[in-house]
């Protein structure tokens, strides 16, 4: 059969143009026309070392300048993981604040490193070593540096202890074993690597926002580059996070209101960053991650990366086209200020009921092929005589005690254990996919579980006193 569908045909777009072949052997720099080229960008643009570094630096300042987000003396966190992109960002910021021309970057940066070793399976020695490497970097750049660890996101609100401590070369990194065990249990429950990767990112951001508050910083710079973001766009679509794309891949993630997460590296391709690091002789700190040495088919994110990277090889404008598409999107939440936000990722909820929707269809599928099918079927038959009645639309609604399906009503003494149905309404579609894989919700960050418990308690109380309310 014809496998193409309707919308396929008009305006064959440039990204579908295959890579032309150019003979670039011995080419000169296209910018200065003098020196021998050392790197090729965008298929045929050749640069010598100096012209490349100049245009790289210029692009970074242009991205920041254009955004008009940075105010003089803004305190910013540079989230440095040790990756090439994060270290290139550090170098660029350092160069930016040191120049004396009016183009000077007027901000007060500090470095924050998030130790994710407990989840990534690093040994204590490895973690200590990375910690020292980070301390050395901090010293080299003369920018204050802090270390925090992912487990601290588990009890942000309850802990009065500090979230991060200052990095120095002779430090001994201490871990909180009890909390790390909880963190590991949280991840161990997730059945898929896709969810693990997704959760790790959400928790990392959650922690960074809290650290920003503690350090009194109004901006967080992360090192996501264009290649990363193109992969994120496609992967997030597949993870059901389409509605959140503006936050997850845009220049500014404004979901937290006053603290903003910025992506100043977003106009660079991975290749540019790699060459910048080589030409500037900056070494990166590399360590195994969740996706090291894994099969590309083991997670949605890895598969997407493989897909985009291979496509980019044959169709060189793939990344930039995806990237530009992502830039043109907005989120439901920006229009509706009242919109509730997800407890886990804090993006506006994208789960409002719509008559015909993928969400409704999925809920229907799950019920219709389960032992509960008869109840659903009844609803369907009743509505069938009239095509306009939407009798089935109430389906899957977890209105406590009013539906025929599993009653989610709970009394106070049961409040110790939360289940998925109870927390579901407070999560966005994408986070539901993660949390659904968990057998127990007890390991989730404390502020999340306590907030759900409070809400349930309130509902319960309200119900008890309902008859007496005027």
Q: Which residues contact 407 (CB under 8 A, 6 or more apart)?
A: 400, 401
Shortest Å distance, C-beta 414 to other proteins = 27
DSSP bridge partners of 147: 113, 165
CB of 294 to other proteins, least distance (A): 7
Among 50, 192, 398, 449, binds other proteins (CB under 8 A): 192
**N-to-C CA span, the chain:** 65
Stretch that binds other proteins, among 138-146, 363-371, 398-406, 444-452 (CB under 8 A): 363-371
Residue 282 contacts other proteins per CB under 8 A: no
For position 33 contacting other proteins by CB under 8 A, the verdict is no
Stretch in the footprint of other proteins (CB under 8 A) among 127-135, 169-177, 227-235, 462-470:
227-235
Grouping H, G, I as helix, E, B as strand and the rest as coil, residue 82 is coil
d(C-alpha 311, C-alpha 151), whole Å: 37
User: Which lies closer to other proteins via its Cβ, residue 364 or residue 400?
Assistant: 364
375 scored as a contact of other proteins (CB under 8 A): no
Is 376 among the residues that bind other proteins (CB under 8 A)? yes
Which of the ranges 143-151, 378-386, 417-425, 453-461 carries the binding residues for other proteins, by CB under 8 A? 378-386
Closest contact distance (angstroms) between CB of 220 and other proteins is 21
Return the residue matching tokens 């919308």.
7
CB 415, min distance to other proteins, A: 30
Total Cβ atoms within 10 A of residue 90? 24
Does position 291 interact with other proteins (CB under 8 A)? The reply is yes
State in angstroms the smallest separation of the CB of 205 from other proteins.
17
* Count of residues interacting with other proteins (CB under 8 A): 118
* Structure tokens that stand for 362 in this block: 């999925």
d(CA 44, CA 354): 48
Binding residues among 241-260 for other proteins as defined by CB under 8 A: 241-243, 245-246
The structure tokens listed for 432 are 């539901």
Q: Please select the residue that binds other proteins; options are 20, 26, 72, 102, rule is CB under 8 A.
A: 26
Residue 260 forms beta bridges with which residues? 219
What is the rounded CA–CA span in Å between residue 113 and residue 116?
A: 9
Of 61-69, 163-171, 204-212, 277-285, which segment contacts other proteins by CB under 8 A?
Answer: 277-285
Please give the Cα distance from 429 to 300 (Å, whole number).
16
Q: Enter the DSSP assignment of 79.
A: E
Binding map of other proteins across residues 332-351, x = CB under 8 A, - = no contact: x--x--------------x-
The verdict on 128 binding other proteins (CB under 8 A) reads no
Q: Which of 364, 408, 425, 455 is close enough to bind other proteins by CB under 8 A? A: 364
**Nearer to other proteins (CB atom), residue 164 or residue 434:** 434
Applying CB under 8 A, does 88 fall inside the site for other proteins? Answer: no
Q: How far apart are CA 18 and CA 11, in angstroms?
A: 16
DSSP state letter for 155: G
Residue of 30, 33, 50 lying closest to 42 (CA atoms): 30
What is the number of other CB atoms lying within 10 angstroms of the CB of residue 287?
18
What mask of x and - would describe binding to other proteins in positions 40 to 79, judged by CB under 8 A?
x-----x---------------------------------
Give the C-alpha separation, 38 to 31, whole Å.
Answer: 12
Nearest-approach distance from CB 89 to other proteins, in angstroms: 16
Structural tokens at position 34: 């003098």
Other beta carbons less than 10 A from residue 226's beta carbon: 22
Instruction: State the binding string over 415-434 for other proteins (x if CB under 8 A, else -).
Output: --------------x---x-
Between CA 200 and CA 117 the distance in angstroms is 11
């Amino acid at each position: 059969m014809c496998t193409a569908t309707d919308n396929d045909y008009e305006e064959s777009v440039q990204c579908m143009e295959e890579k032309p072949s150019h003979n670039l052997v011995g080419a000169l720099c296209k910018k200065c026309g003098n020196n021998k080229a050392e790197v090729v960008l965008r298929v045929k643009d050749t640069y010598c070392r100096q012209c490349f570094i100049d245009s790289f630096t210029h692009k970074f300042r242009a991205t920041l300048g254009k955004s008009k987000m940075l105010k003089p003396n803004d305190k910013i966190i540079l989230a440095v993981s040790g990756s090439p992109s994060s270290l290139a960002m550090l170098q660029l910021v350092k160069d930016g604040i040191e120049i004396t021309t009016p183009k000077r970057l007027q901000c007060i940066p500090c470095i924050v490193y998030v130790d994710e070793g407990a989840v990534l399976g690093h040994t204590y020695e490895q973690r200590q070593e990375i910690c020292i490497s980070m301390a050395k970097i901090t010293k080299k750049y003369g920018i204050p540096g802090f270390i925090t660890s992912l487990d601290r996101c588990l009890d942000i609100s309850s802990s009065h202890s500090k979230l991060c401590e200052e990095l120095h070369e002779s430090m001994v990194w201490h871990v909180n074993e009890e909390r790390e065990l909880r963190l590991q249990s949280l991840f161990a429950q997730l059945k898929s690597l896709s969810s693990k990767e997704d959760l790790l990112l959400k928790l990392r951001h959650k922690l960074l926002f809290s650290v920003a508050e503690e350090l009194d910083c109004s901006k967080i710079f992360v090192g996501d580059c264009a290649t990363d973001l193109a992969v994120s766009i496609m992967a997030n679509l597949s993870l059901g996070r389409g509605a959140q794309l503006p936050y997850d891949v845009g220049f500014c993630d404004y979901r937290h209101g006053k603290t903003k997460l910025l992506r100043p590296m977003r106009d660079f391709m991975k290749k540019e960053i790699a060459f910048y690091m080589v030409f500037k002789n900056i070494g990166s700190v590399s360590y195994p991650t969740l996706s090291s040495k894994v099969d590309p088919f083991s997670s949605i994110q890895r598969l997407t990366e493989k897909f985009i990277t291979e496509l980019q090889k044959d169709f060189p404008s793939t990344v930039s086209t995806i990237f530009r598409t992502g830039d043109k999107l907005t989120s439901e939440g920006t229009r509706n200020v009242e919109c509730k936000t997800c407890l886990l990722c804090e993006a506006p909820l994208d789960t409002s009921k719509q008559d015909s929707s993928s969400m409704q269809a999925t809920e229907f599928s799950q019920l219709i092929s389960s032992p509960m099918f008869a109840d659903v079927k009844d609803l369907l038959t009743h509505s069938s005589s009239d095509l306009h009645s939407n009798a089935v639309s109430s389906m899957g609604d977890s209105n406590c005690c009013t539906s025929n399906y599993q009653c989610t009503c709970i009394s106070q003494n049961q409040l110790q254990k939360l289940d998925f149905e109870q927390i579901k309404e407070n999560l966005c579609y994408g986070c539901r996919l993660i949390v659904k894989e968990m057998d127990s919700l007890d390991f989730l960050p404390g502020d999340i579980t306590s907030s759900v418990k409070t809400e349930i308690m309130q509902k319960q109380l309200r119900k008890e006193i309902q008859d007496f309310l005027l």
